[in-house]
Amino acid sequence: MISIKNLQKIFKSGTTQVQAVDDVNLNIEKGEIYGVIGYSGAGKSTFIRLLNRLEDPTSGEIVIDGEDIASLKAGRLRKARQEIGMVFQHFNLLWSRTVRENIAFPLEIAGTPKKERQERVDELIKLVGLAGREDAYPSQLSGGQKQRVGIARALANRPKVLLCDEATSALDPETTDQILDLLVDINEKLDLTIILITHEMHVIRKISHRVAVMEEGKVVEEGDVLDVFLHPKEKVTKRFVEQIMGDQDQDEAVETILAQYQTGQVVRLHFVGEKTNQALISEVSREFPSVSFNILQGKITQTSKGAYGTLYVHMDGTEEDINKAIEYISETSVQVEVNHHVS
C-alpha cells in the first residue's frame, strides 16, 4: 500500500543544514494501523507532512497505492491529496462554521454536488458519534467532540490513507481512549490504512499493529508492537516501553523488597498472549514442592496484538532445585530472566 524509500528532508537556513528526516525506509500494508513514535525533535511530524506533500522531500520516494506522490506536479498532487486524510493535534476547525459545515468543507472544495455532499456528511456524523450536534459550533464542543469533527472532515473524500499527527495529545486520558476506539472502529469498518504520529506509548500500545521508533530523523527500530514491547533494542525504545510497563519503578521496588531475603534468586517472567492468564506459579509449585515461590510484583498490559506481562518472583531452595524450576518454566514458552542472586 505505502512504500517509502530513502526519504530525506533537509531544512536550510543560511549556511546551516538540519536533516529532519534521514534516509527513512518503510513499508505499510493496506488496512494497517501503523504507529510512528518519537520524542520532540525526532522528525516524526516532518515525516508525516512529507507523506501528503505539505512538505516537499529533499530526496526519496513515497509510493502510495502505486503512485509516487513525491514526484507529482501541482494538478495531480491536488487530486492525490484528496485520497490522504489528515487529523491534527489542535483540530484546525473553522470556528465560524457548524459541525455539518466543517465536515462538508473539503467536499465543497472538491466540487461534490450538494445532495451528495449532504448525504456524505450525514453518514460521517453518524460514523463518528456526533448525531444531535450537527448545528453546533466548535466553541460549543468538548475537545473530544472537536476531534471527532476533525476525523469526519478528514474522511469526507473517502481517503485511502488517514494521517493522524498527535491526534490525541490535546485530550485527557479518558477522551484519548474514546478517540482511539473510534479510530479502531473506522479502521475495521472502512479497511482504512491509518498512520499515527505520537510521543505517547499508550497510543501505540492500544491500537497500532506495527510501530517505527524515530530518533534524530532516523527510524532506529521497527516491528510488530508486541515484539517491540518484548524485545526493545534501542535505548529510546526502552524508555518508551517503560512508560507503560514501569520497569524502572519495578526494579527499585524489587530492590527494596529484596532486603528481607537472605537466600534464593529473583527472576523476572515475561508472559505473552494466552500465557498471561494461566496459573503458572501454582503449577510450578506442585511440580517442585521443595522450592518456595513469593510473588513480589507484576503487571499485565494489553496491546493490539495480545497481552504482555511481567512478574517478579523470589524463588528459595537449593540451587539445583531452583535451576530445575527455571528450566521447567522456560519450556512453557514463558521467558525467564534471572535478575538477582540473593545468596
Q: Is the pTM of this model over 0.75?
A: yes
List phi, psi (to 5°) of 331.
-75, -10
- The boundaries of every CATH 3.40.50.300 domain in the chain are 2-241
**Contact call for residues 295 and 302 (beta carbons, < 8 A):** no
At 152 the three-state DSSP class reads helix
Enumerate residues 6+ apart whose C-beta is below 8 A from 187: 31, 33, 194, 207
CA distances (Å), origin 33, targets 46, 184, 231, 281, 286: 19, 8, 20, 35, 43
pLDDT at 273: 63
- Predicted pLDDT at 164: 96
Alpha-carbon span 265 to 209, nearest angstrom: 36
Highest CATH level, class, for 246-341: alpha beta
> Alpha-carbon distance 32 to 187, whole Å?
8
| 232 neighbors 245 (Cβ within 8 angstroms) | no
Query: What confidence score (pLDDT) does residue 29 get?
Result: 96
pLDDT in tens, the chain (343 residues): 899 999 999 999 888 999 999 999 999 999 999 999 999 999 999 999 999 999 999 999 999 999 999 998 888 888 888 899 999 988 899 999 999 999 999 999 999 999 999 999 999 999 999 999 999 999 999 999 999 999 999 999 999 999 999 999 989 999 999 999 999 999 999 999 999 999 998 899 899 999 999 999 999 999 999 888 878 899 999 888 887 766 555 555 556 666 666 678 888 887 776 555 557 888 888 999 999 988 887 777 777 766 777 788 888 999 899 999 998 988 877 888 876 555 5
pLDDT of residue 251: 55
Is 2-241 a CATH 3.40.50.300 domain? Answer: yes
Q: What letter does residue 120 receive in the DSSP assignment? A: H
Identify whether the C-beta of residue 214 lies closer than 8 Å to the C-beta of residue 47: yes
Residues of the chain with CATH 3.30.70.260: 246-341
C-alpha cell at 79: 487530486
* CB-based contact 5:201 (threshold 8 Å): no
